Amino acid sequence: MKTLEFCNGVLKLVDQTKLPTEHKIVELSTYEEIADAIKTMIVRGAPAIGVTAAYGIVVAANSINISSTEQFFTELKKACDLIKSTRPTAVNLFWAVDRVYNKAVFNMDKPIDQIIKIIEAEACLMEKEDIDSNRAIGKFGNELIKENFTILTHCNAGALATCDHGTALGVIRSAHEAGKNINVFADETRPYLQGSRLTVWELMEDNIPVTLICDNMAGHFMKEGLIDCVIVGADRIALNGDTANKIGTYSVAVLAKENNIPFYVAAPISTIDFSIECGDEIPIEERNSDEVTHIKGVRIAPEGIKVRNPAFDVTPNKYISAIITDKGIIYPPFNENIPKYKD
């Protein structure tokens, strides 16, 4: 099944905490369950979080048993606030919730059952748009990939992180579909292991040659001349191109620059936060220390150890060679070129 599927008021998600050893589907029929699935990373990846959140608002709207429009909107806003409180960094979450809520507000004069139908159609459209965006990112990004390239990626910016195809992995998939002989190196991506659990699984399913490495091996392979370019996804991009992505992305970008390797960010325009000037304004989620002290429930560090666990870091724009979007490739100077994409 796809990463997510909405049918008859129920949201089905592939449980990404269980992959690759177990392929479990969870069925969620309340918005509180959907908020919890985002928080606990049953679903993860900026675009997938966004579309999940959009369906969460639809589920919330369906559950509100009130005939006054004013009260309906009070309850709907409560659901929006809960869903927005789940994870702070990926702007797609806020973008998606606001888009669905604003659609409802715009149609406020209509009967409630009609408003619900309108916002369900909007969420479905967002799902479809996400797939189209990823295909477009793949098409543009493919132009940067040459025959026999080895591409390093970090975290999972694949079909699992989106509604299908992926962003960074979308570029890789499109190059593979175009018949190019390419190889992928995937960082395991400590502490949550999105690389070893999800990225390599996805690529193996598609028969795309992939090699798993530990995060601290990336510099070695770059220096050895084995990596031709790096492609990563993004959770939030500021107006000047500074990019928040999975923790460890910044280190990979610095290593890429040191070794004269192009470093590309692949993301839809909806990942650009046009309201912030630079990366300092991006909130960084700090997650539970267990993710660092334990692997699959097994303790690997002493009891009582102090831990820091930021889930994302910000890569300054000077390390980014280009941003591959669904509307085209954006090159530096980003502070001049990114604002041109605001509609």
Where on the chain is the footprint of ligand MRU (CB under 6 A)? 44-47, 90, 155, 157, 161-162, 167, 194, 233-235, 245-246, 311
CA 16-137-36 angle, 5° bins: 25
Residue 100 or 137: the one with the smaller Cβ distance to ligand MRU is 137
The whole-angstrom separation of Cα 22 and Cα 297 is 16
CB of 285 to ligand MRU, least distance (A): 8
CB of 35 to ligand MRU, least distance (A): 15
Reference 319, options 237, 264, 248; nearest CA is 264
The whole-angstrom separation of Cα 185 and Cα 4 is 27
CB of 160 to ligand MRU, least distance (A): 9
The whole-angstrom separation of Cα 56 and Cα 50 is 10
CA dist 137 → 10, 133, 242, 277 (Å): 30, 6, 19, 24
Residue 156 or 240: the one with the smaller Cβ distance to ligand MRU is 156
**Beta-ladder partners of 295:** 298
CB of 245 to ligand MRU, least distance (A): 5
CB of 322 to ligand MRU, least distance (A): 16
Residue 91 or 123: the one with the smaller Cβ distance to ligand MRU is 91
Catalytic residue among 235, 242, 273, 313: 235
CB of 100 to ligand MRU, least distance (A): 20
**290 catalytic residue (yes or no):** no
CB of 62 to ligand MRU, least distance (A): 26
Contact 15, 42 (CB under 8 A): yes
The whole-angstrom separation of Cα 309 and Cα 262 is 28
Residue nearest to ligand MRU (CB): 233
Contact 228, 150 (CB under 8 A): yes
Residue 227 or 237: the one with the smaller Cβ distance to ligand MRU is 237
One-letter amino acid of 296: K
Residue 161 or 323: the one with the smaller Cβ distance to ligand MRU is 161
**Beta-ladder partners of 328:** 325
Residue 235 or 326: the one with the smaller Cβ distance to ligand MRU is 235
Residue 136 or 234: the one with the smaller Cβ distance to ligand MRU is 234
Q: Which residues are catalytic, by number?
A: 235
